[in-house]
Amino acid sequence: MSNKTQTLQTQYAQQVAADLKRNVGEQERIAAEVAALQGQLEVLKLDCELLEGMQSALGGAAAPAVKPTKTAAVPKARRAQGSVTADAAKSPKNTKKSVKANTATSARSASPSLREVVVALLGQHNEPRSAAEVSAELAQAQPERAVNVTLVRNALEASVAKNQSTRTKQGKFVYYTALQDGSATAQASVATSDANA
């Protein structure tokens, strides 16, 4: 009987080990999905801020900005009862994560806005540039900044709205040029008359 008990105990131990391994793998997969979704949420928030800035710069009677709803809190991993005390919840391990998050946020706010970077890139060239060209140059100059052509185009349009650059349309293509002396109205009227010709 003792041998049978040990065999049963061994089977249970193996099953528990397999279940634990599967559980840890599932936690890692879900944590990766949550991180990816958090990244997408941050990009959407930045896009929203950019669009709201463009909307206010345009000043027209625009649709009211939709405020995002409260984000759902992601539940913490379940723990065995009594394994986490109030003191453990306030451990330095948890505060380090929040410090890293705050540091990343402050570093992001300390870096120049996409509009400023795009205007600076335009200013380096004497000829008009398309949004795709500026986007490619930005991706090469700052690979750590995640941008796409649509974001760059929105930033270029914001710079036009703030009289930092001009837009020129040639056929179905749109080109942007940085303003050097701030005479946006004179250059804008020339660009408009060229486009109408």
Give percent of the chain with pLDDT exceeding 70: 64
Model confidence at 184: pLDDT above 80: no
Q: Which of the pair, 66 or 189, is modelled with greater confidence?
A: 66
Q: Is the pTM of this model over 0.75?
A: no
Residue with tokens 């986007």: 135
Distance CA 45, CA 37 (A): 12
Model confidence at 176: pLDDT above 90: yes
pLDDT the model gives residue 186: 40
Model confidence at 167: pLDDT above 90: yes
One-letter amino acid identity for 37?
Answer: L
pLDDT the model gives residue 183: 47
Distance CA 99, CA 79 (A): 24
For the chain, the average pLDDT equals 75
Across the range 126-140, mean pLDDT stands at: 90
Burial class (CB in 10 A: 0-12, 13-18, 19+), 43: middle
Residue-wise pLDDT for 110-129, tens only, equals 678 888 888 998 899 889 99
Model confidence at 83: pLDDT above 80: no
